[in-house]
Structure 1
Amino acid sequence: TMSLFPAYGIYNPSSSLEFPEAKTINESSASWLTNSSFQPEIVSGPRIVILSSDSSDCEVIDQLPEKNHETISLDSDVEEVDSPKHKSHHKKHKKSKKHKKDKYKDRPAKYKSVVENLYYEDRGKSKCIYKVDTLCSRARPRYHRYDKALGFVLMKKEKTTSTRYFAKNLAKKEAKSKTKSDTVIQRHKIATEEESEEMKEKILKLEEEKKSKIKYFNQQLMEDPHNIDLWLEYINFDDRDNEFGSTYGQKETNSLKYSRKLAIVEKALEKNTGCSKLLKAKLFFLDELLPTDEYIDRVEQMISKDSGNIVLWQALITATRSSVSLCNVSRVLKLYSKCFESLHLWPRSNPKVYDERLLKMTYQSLIFLRHGGLWEQMWEALRLNMNLNLNVDKQHAYFKGSIDEKKLIEMEEVILTSQLPLNQLWLRVELLRENCHWTSVSREQLELVGDSNRFITPEDVTEFVHPLLSKNYNFKMGVYIFLALKVPLLPTRHNFMQELGLDESNWTFESYESLIPILYPCSGEMAGHQQRELLTKGLFNAGLTSGPQYLRYHPARDAYLDFVRDVFRMIAESFGSDHQRTSFYVWWLRFERMLLWMQKNDAVKSDKSVKKLKGILKDFLKQDENRNNLHFYREYALIEREMGRVSNSVNILETAIQTKGNNPESCTNQYERAALMSLYRTLLEVLLDVRMWDELKSNISQVIRVLCAMTGKTEGSLELTEQYLHNCYQDFVDNFESVDQVDQEFLPVFHCDAIVCYIYLLFITEHGHQEILNIFDNCLEISKNCPWIQERFYEDKISFLQLMVELKIDKFSVLKESLKQAFEDNPDNFYLLSVYAGIESELPHWSICLRSVSNHEQRLWPTIAGCLAGRARLYSTICLNDSTARTAALNRLVHFHNNIFRVPDIRCCPLVWRLYMLLLREEGLCEKKGETVYHESISSCPWARSVYIDAAGIAPQLLTQIQDIIREKDLRMHVTPEELNILRG
């Protein structure tokens, strides 16, 4: 029979079950394929494809040449099996399992290629495969690239010619070695002889450099064995650490490294027995090498030989406090008591050193009481220290500091009858009582309260009360008292943090109040408002406070706020009419301004508190000793601006300036002159605020009028003011040594404010931008020997650049570079951290601003600023509109937390753990990570009661265990054991 289609006549399936040999196709049989528009050249005979590694092109020839190549026939090496003819079956509704198994048996076998030396490594950069032909540049389209999930901004970019092959030319190395190029792909990378020789040369060179450096250290230390800085440089020198990296694990490598460093430290201590820096280094290495119990035994042996050494006592207390098995409130307090008992052994030849050590140890002991929830004991110790050192009247210190106990009992009954789960009942009652209890009750109230821990006598805390040798440290004692009451430093600067020793006490920060100076820095307030507002989202109502608090609405909030105000008044009045009295009142006024800013984010807004504050401020300014103080009017004007009355703020500042005759030079008192110049600066910053920029453009004459009035002349001109301010700048440059270099932390500095006013004048009169930056750079260079003045100039420069960037006058790169320079010297300046966190929250990558700053990853506050920036990303517009972007930002933030917990100095901070627990609660990760984070947090901060309370929120299944551990550690539990048994059922 004739086939319907001639093409199918070539192969008859019924003739054989195997493939026939390749046959020549007759031209006549393919005539039906002829097309007038296409005339293919049909080649008869078998077609052979020759593949050779010597050529990149494939050749198709008719006959096989004489030269033997490895060939692959298109008709060979293909095993096919004829599919057998199946009989027709009736349709089944369900196929059997046997049919499914046999379905794959008759499939044709896969193509099995036999290819050798087909692929090769092109080491000569052959041009034929180096480039892929694309469209020319004129025909190439423009692409809109927008990576939404990563947070990049929309940008247009022309497609450039991409390098499609590796750019490294290996032909030169091949020519040197004169070896035949390898034509087989290597599965494992093998280093060539030249590379191994180069590596050996590098290793030998590094070893020679290390040996020469060690030789240099030995020679210099033999000549001058009392050079402490050189000893520390030798200790930190990484000379032989990397030699053991390939042989031993990381743990063994660190052990060898610390053992070697410990030997160097002990040799250094033989020459310098009284050096505290070397002793701290020795204790650090011992802590890394020995288990906790052995380390404590070693430190106790050292204390028995030198019981007056405060460094050894701090090391012993820290080791005991940080140990999960040894940490107990009573045990740690006994160590503090023993430390204070050795006061008579402390050297008193230098009162400054003695008072600094005493204040730091007293502050740390009081903070430990606060972390343990023992607020009554802490306040009693503070009150007695105020009576002893600050001459506070004993009767005034006995003011009422908590709410009525009967009202508290009524609120507890409401909670207990709310039918909440038992764990929630315990948490609600515990938090209510801790917010309301911070002072001791009288003996008569003890029966009503029923909690013996509420009654504290002076005899219970006598070991924490000691006199200072010098009155010069009374101001610092007052600062420590307010820090213990959770009042933040406004502003918080790096040098003052160092002076207070807070940069070495990361474990003391555990509440939200410590973050406020980053969110509301009270410095550089002309720009960055939106960024700071984004940083606060999710934090205000997160419950990161502990004990009594003044931030959110609470039944005891007003009582505790009045308590803090009374303490401010008592301590400030203890300094008489001194400028230190002014400093404390300025701090208090900034504290009130910060509370107004916080109330904007409070869900429960109360006009009564604002009216009450107005009455308090009016009564304060009416007092005779406060009526003529310009510092108070400056802060009062800023409070008016925070209330939204900008015009009132400007009027108050202008009126205060006119009372002193406008001219700062007419003031004979240097403090009044500095206050008057600060009024000018504040007035200019209020008018130059970003939120006032639209109004400033239409009424810039007001700013010019303010500047013209500075000379005090009736016909003042801007040129006279510019000349006067330039003279102030020149006087600072020429006579810096005569400038008053005593740090007044909360008060302004005349020359700093005068130079900033000069900068604003140049900006308004449209002087060159580089000229303005040169003035800042000159001031920074001149004040490098006075760190606290230099830090203020850094703040002023960053504030000005932030304003320029927000107004789109200057580039972001200038601000970024200046911020890096400022962080090198002041990594704990909270205003700089606020700017850094605001920038990081808007960038697609992390740590761009601080990537080149040394040791920023080891410091606590830059790390916390990074956490705040990561949280702000989650609330950004991109993440709220795109779930993929939010998931990516969340994963990055979780990874960021996991990384920072590897740093010992950061892991010991309870506030960082509380921020992480808050993230788990907000994002619903408690079930996945809650129990693990709970165990890690209490092993790092076993003394912090707030960590246990937050852990009960992320691991409620472990509530009974958490309660037992709190009682075991002697931490404060406001619910009595009898009540706890009832709640447990």
Structure 2
Amino acid sequence: MSLFPAYGGGQPLAPGSAKEEAKPEEATATGANWKNNESYIQKHIEDVNIATQEAQPDSSSSSEDSEEEADKDKQEDVPKTKEIPRGKRLEFDASDEFYVDKKSNSSYRNINTLTKPTRPRYKTRMARLRDENHKHRGFSRADSKLSLKNSRYVKKQLPVEALSEEEVARLQEQLTRSKVLVQREPEVLDHWLELHRLLNLNLDKANRLAVAEHQLHTLEAALEHHPSNQQILRLYTDVANATYQASEVAARFEKMLKRNPFEYILWTNLIMVTQGNMARCRVPAVLQIYAYSMRRMHVGHTDEITRRFETTETDVIMLKLFHNCLLFLRQSGNINRMFSVIRLSMELNFPGLTMNCLEASAANEAPLIEFEEMVLGSGMPMPEIWTRVEKLRQAYCYLPYPISTSSSIEDFKGEWDTERYMFSDDIVPYAHALKSPDNRLHLLLVVVQLTKMPLIRSCCLADKLNPCIDEFGETEAIEMLFAVLADRHSYAVSASNYADCDAPMMNLAKEMSVTPSFMPHFVGHDVYADTVSTLILKCSEAFSDEETKRRIFLILWLRFQRLLIVLHKLTGKLTKSYVKDTRNRIREEISKSENREVVRFYTELALCEFEGQNDNDNDWRFFSIFWKIITEKSAESSRISCPDIMHLYIVCAELLIQNRHKDRAIDVLVSLCIETHIILDETSISSKQVIVESIKSGIKLVNAELKALDAQPAEMALEEYFMPNRLLILLRALSLLDTLYDPRNLEVKQFLSDLQQKEFGPEAAKTSERKRFLREQVMEIQLLQLQLSISLAGDIEIYCGFSERKLEDLLDRGLDEFPRNMVFLQHWTNLKTILWHKQRARFIRTKAGIASLAHLVIAAHSRVQIIEPTDTFSKDAIRVAVRNRLINLFETYLPTNSNRSEMEEEQYRALRRNSIYWRLYMTCLSDTKATFQRSREVLLMAIDECPWDKALLMEGGKVLPNELSFLQDLMTEKEIRIFAVPEELGILRDQ
């Protein structure tokens, strides 16, 4: 057969084939004369009327002429149509050796995947009310078709405002002028910032690489004149990260650190180039940079290059790097090494102090085996078994093994984990002795904070202990929200006012907390709580020769005991036996000879008794503690001079106010304002004249304290943040007394307003740390004053003209000046009368990092708690609505949001390095029945931002169980600590 069947070469056709129906002329044409095949010549086909061919009757010639004329007229009227040729039916012939496709295959009509340029881009426009160009219109089919067609193949460019020639010429002149100004006046910072802004406009339409290199060169010149300016360093970091690869950016930072090795921002950026990069992040590589940086701070000023930085205190930078290093160890799961470094650091800085409490105990880990056997025999899928066993071992096996001795080996026989044994090379590079003994308090406070103990409630204290760095991740411990529970703002207002926020806060903490933790819902929480308690007492023992610092840690220990009681109460697990055990522990500690005479400890004991009682209890044991102390101190002296006694009086008055003993509270406050002990006579009632005179006396005492304030240094010592302040106690007493006496009285309120405008004004707060702290505390007192008047009178308008708007303005100013103040965040979360978009916008503007986002999530949940489920709004519908609102919130910060504001972009710089943000995002996606592909994309984005965080990877395995093996391999690759090897669990389950 011929290769081309259409040209058979004159061969005979097979019998029964369709080719036998062909005419002889066609066969001849396809034969020898195939070159002159006439079938391809277009022949002329005459138009023939079918009707005339069918009807041909016999008639005379005369009639035929007339009929022919009529037929011609009809032919002209009928439209001409071409004859459609019929196609031949093709059939399969086995002798042809080829297959004729008679029926189309529908599978070829669909394409499973498209190449990248032709993939459709489905973008959701996240419009806002403030968008000017957005047209609010309904759905249009034509618009949807047009948008789909355009978005599928054409990428729309962002609207860029084209500059006119006059504007370009003006900006170029301004650029030339800025270049001249930085040469003439290089010490002026604004000239360099303006030059950087003009260079970023790219007026010459140059290559972006050339523009970036020009900007970097300019910023390097600016750093020579402003070596430690944070604005220039931040701009340099942004341009370098956007221009070069991570390795080249790291080389540039190393080169800059050789010239200025005592710049904390440069060190953090160098660390994040490795720690925050998916390709470069490995735990040993990151720890190597930490070791090098801390070693450099320990060596200090040793060469001629660093002589000009002799004024820089290296201990401050060392403490910041120490905090970040331990935070990285905790987030990467290396908790054993973290506690080993803590132990070595404390022993180096406090010679003679033994830290055996940070060694593993076989007795504490005994319940672990029983829990593991229950999980292994439960019949759950292997991914779920691995997740639960990993959390169990992390909750119990967080401490390193003790020094290898025969007894310790015998205690842990059969359970020896080599990674829990710490060698000197594992911990020595990260622990150094501080040069100044004054910084040891800062060190121990950082240590206590890293155990997830919430001790920071004030914004000023947060700025002093650990300043917020945009490029560096904050803590992933959600327990920081409990600072308002461990150290309440005031006891004058009942805790039931915050009940709507407490429940969502506890639910959020249960979801986001990571073992080991003292949260009561965790298995093994009591073991970790004992470890934290013992560590705080060891810190107090370290300052045995410094009484003030020793008391600070005992106060923190008492607050921690009170916090545990509150957490057990909120989770419904508080029992009388637990309260009794806590009471016995506190009394045993207070009964020691060195603590027996400290009034502040008895105040904390009374607060623990108050928190431990139920709502229906009439046991006023805490008041008996107050009356006993007052009786003893009044027998010694009739005057109140000690700040601890003044603090006891103010706490006693607030508890009396909460329990509706208004007259008794007024007597206590009057005694405090006149600095005279109260006479314990229940029938005594202060007259109006006595109250007015006591208010005047209190104002005189405040003025005397204000005069003494000028003689004190502008910088506050760290211990002053934890000790009672006479000025603040007097101001609080005046505010409470004035509100109880007459809420309409303006004297004390105007006095506080004058303080905020003059002595503690914004300008004074910028130059003095002490006045800034006092300004923050006075603002809290103003908030308490308004809050108390509402609870007592029940009408917000009674507060001397204060309206709901005044309350919002007070909190708005407070969050603007002190964004990390937990009291202001809690009160703004608790507002129910404000519109959601206003509440949301205020949290977005608050530069508090993950704390503002967490409170925003709590606010979203608390607002829907007042909605009772009905037929229209079921529980599931409300839950889905809240989840959708939260997903919209999380996506607002993402770079994929084309309508993202500058403030949201700035907030994302801090949120993107925090695993809580990504874990909340993935949890909401899993609860709203989102596709696995969408959850997977979010997981990959989160891993790219936080590749070192173990809690994030564990959350990813929970949301996407199919990806768990990949995540386990990633943990192994990054050398993240894994307590339970999957192969080991497989063997144990089979056994």
Shared fold (TM-score, shorter chain, > 0.5): yes
Q: Is the 8 A contact 2:673 2:698 kept in 1?
A: no
- Provide the residue aligned with 2:821 in structure 1: 829
Residues 1:597 and 2:566 are matched in the alignment: yes
- Provide the residue aligned with 1:572 in structure 2: 540
- Provide the residue aligned with 1:818 in structure 2: 810
Question: Is the alpha carbon distance of 1:543 and 1:357 closer, same or farther for their aligned partners in structure 2, counting shifts above 3 Å?
Answer: same
Of 767, 770, 786, which aligns to 1:801? Answer: 786
How far off its partner does 1:621 sit? 1.7
Deviates more, 1:801-810 or 1:932-941: 801-810
CA distance in 2, matches of 1:206, 1:531: 57
- Provide the residue aligned with 1:67 in structure 2: none
Residues 1:866 and 2:856 are matched in the alignment: yes
- Provide the residue aligned with 1:440 in structure 2: 400
CA distance in 2, matches of 1:628, 1:562: 26
Deviates more, 1:761-770 or 1:884-893: 884-893
Residues 1:497 and 2:502 are matched in the alignment: no
Residues 1:633 and 2:574 are matched in the alignment: no
- Provide the residue aligned with 1:475 in structure 2: 441
- Provide the residue aligned with 1:777 in structure 2: 753
CA distance in 2, matches of 1:295, 1:709: 64
How far off its partner does 1:538 sit? 5.0
Of 518, 521, 529, which aligns to 1:561? Answer: 529
CA distance in 1, matches of 2:327, 2:664: 51
Deviates more, 1:940-949 or 1:576-585: 576-585
Of 577, 584, 599, which aligns to 2:553? Answer: 584
How large is the Cα RMSD of the aligned pairs?
A: 3.8
- String of CA shifts for 1:626-667, please: whole Å, max 9, x gaps: 122121122112111111267322332333334333999946
Residues 1:899 and 2:892 are matched in the alignment: yes
SS of equivalent residue, structure 1 residue 600: helix
SS of equivalent residue, structure 2 residue 694: helix
How far off its partner does 1:907 sit? 1.0
Question: Is the alpha carbon distance of 1:662 and 1:307 closer, same or farther for their aligned partners in structure 2, counting shifts above 3 Å?
Answer: same
Q: Is the 8 A contact 1:381 1:461 kept in 2?
A: yes
Q: Is the 8 A contact 1:355 1:468 kept in 2?
A: yes
Q: Which amino acid letter does the alignment assign opposite residue 863 of structure 1?
A: L
Deviates more, 1:948-957 or 1:576-585: 576-585
How far off its partner does 1:617 sit? 0.9
Of 968, 974, 979, which aligns to 2:973? Answer: 968
- Provide the residue aligned with 1:758 in structure 2: 734
- Provide the residue aligned with 1:284 in structure 2: 238
Query: Residues 164-563 of structure 1: matches in 2 within 5 Å?
Result: 224-228=185-189, 230=190, 234=194, 262-273=216-227, 275=229, 278-303=232-257, 310-343=264-297, 346-347=300-301, 353-391=313-351, 393-394=353-354, 396-397=356-357, 400=360, 403-442=363-402, 443=404, 444=409, 447-489=413-455, 491-504=456-469, 507-517=473-483, 522-527=488-493, 529-530=495-496, 532-538=498-504, 540=506, 542-563=510-531
Question: Is the alpha carbon distance of 1:516 and 1:278 closer, same or farther for their aligned partners in structure 2, counting shifts above 3 Å?
Answer: same
CA distance in 2, matches of 1:630, 1:586: 11
Q: Which amino acid letter does the alignment assign opposite residue 784 of structure 2?
A: S
CA distance in 2, matches of 1:843, 1:705: 37
Structure 1 runs not aligned, ≥5 long: 1-198
How far off its partner does 1:323 sit? 0.8
Question: Is the alpha carbon distance of 1:240 and 1:295 closer, same or farther for their aligned partners in structure 2, counting shifts above 3 Å?
Answer: closer
Q: Is the 8 A contact 1:711 1:721 kept in 2?
A: no
Q: Is the 8 A contact 2:815 2:824 kept in 1?
A: yes
CA distance in 1, matches of 2:846, 2:207: 24
- String of CA shifts for 1:768-794, please: whole Å, max 9, x gaps: 354333222222231234212211112
Q: Is the 8 A contact 2:396 2:524 kept in 1?
A: yes
- String of CA shifts for 1:708-736, please: whole Å, max 9, x gaps: 87434879843442232111222244453
SS of equivalent residue, structure 2 residue 634: coil
Q: Is the 8 A contact 1:791 1:826 kept in 2?
A: yes
Q: Which amino acid letter does the alignment assign opposite residue 754 of structure 2?
A: N
- Provide the residue aligned with 2:867 in structure 1: 877
Of 910, 913, 916, which aligns to 2:921? Answer: 916
CA distance in 2, matches of 1:891, 1:259: 43
- Provide the residue aligned with 1:126 in structure 2: none
How far off its partner does 1:495 sit? 1.4
Question: Is the alpha carbon distance of 1:701 and 1:752 closer, same or farther for their aligned partners in structure 2, counting shifts above 3 Å?
Answer: closer
Question: Is the alpha carbon distance of 1:922 and 1:891 closer, same or farther for their aligned partners in structure 2, counting shifts above 3 Å?
Answer: closer
Q: Which amino acid letter does the alignment assign opposite residue 519 of structure 2?
A: L
CA distance in 2, matches of 1:665, 1:597: 36
Residues 1:647 and 2:623 are matched in the alignment: no
CA distance in 1, matches of 2:748, 2:254: 58
Q: Is the 8 A contact 2:241 2:249 kept in 1?
A: yes
Structure 2 runs not aligned, ≥5 long: 1-159, 303-308, 896-907
Q: Is the 8 A contact 1:650 1:683 kept in 2?
A: yes
Deviates more, 1:286-295 or 1:655-664: 655-664
How far off its partner does 1:740 sit? 7.0
How far off its partner does 1:939 sit? 1.4
How far off its partner does 1:214 sit? 6.9
Q: Is the 8 A contact 1:226 1:272 kept in 2?
A: yes
TM-score, normalised relative to structure 2: 0.71
Q: Which amino acid letter does the alignment assign opposite residue 832 of structure 1?
A: F
Question: Is the alpha carbon distance of 1:655 and 1:951 closer, same or farther for their aligned partners in structure 2, counting shifts above 3 Å?
Answer: same
Q: Which amino acid letter does the alignment assign opposite residue 971 of structure 1?
A: I
How far off its partner does 1:219 sit? 7.5
Of 945, 953, 956, which aligns to 1:948? Answer: 953
- Provide the residue aligned with 1:684 in structure 2: 653
Q: Is the 8 A contact 1:526 1:803 kept in 2?
A: yes
How far off its partner does 1:960 sit? 1.2
Question: Is the alpha carbon distance of 1:713 and 1:203 closer, same or farther for their aligned partners in structure 2, counting shifts above 3 Å?
Answer: farther
Identity of aligned residues (%): 20
CA distance in 1, matches of 2:468, 2:869: 34
Question: Is the alpha carbon distance of 1:886 and 1:559 closer, same or farther for their aligned partners in structure 2, counting shifts above 3 Å?
Answer: closer
CA distance in 2, matches of 1:301, 1:611: 61
CA distance in 1, matches of 2:567, 2:813: 31
Q: Which amino acid letter does the alignment assign opposite residue 251 of structure 2?
A: D
How far off its partner does 1:259 sit? 6.4
SS of equivalent residue, structure 2 residue 739: helix
Of 939, 961, 968, which aligns to 1:934? Answer: 939
Question: Is the alpha carbon distance of 1:772 and 1:879 closer, same or farther for their aligned partners in structure 2, counting shifts above 3 Å?
Answer: farther
How far off its partner does 1:381 sit? 0.7
How far off its partner does 1:586 sit? 1.2
CA distance in 2, matches of 1:394, 1:317: 33
TM-score, normalised relative to structure 1: 0.71
Q: Is the 8 A contact 1:317 1:332 kept in 2?
A: yes
Question: Is the alpha carbon distance of 1:778 and 1:735 closer, same or farther for their aligned partners in structure 2, counting shifts above 3 Å?
Answer: farther
Q: Which amino acid letter does the alignment assign opposite residue 371 of structure 2?
A: M
Q: Is the 8 A contact 2:376 2:988 kept in 1?
A: no
CA distance in 1, matches of 2:398, 2:967: 23
Deviates more, 1:520-529 or 1:629-638: 520-529
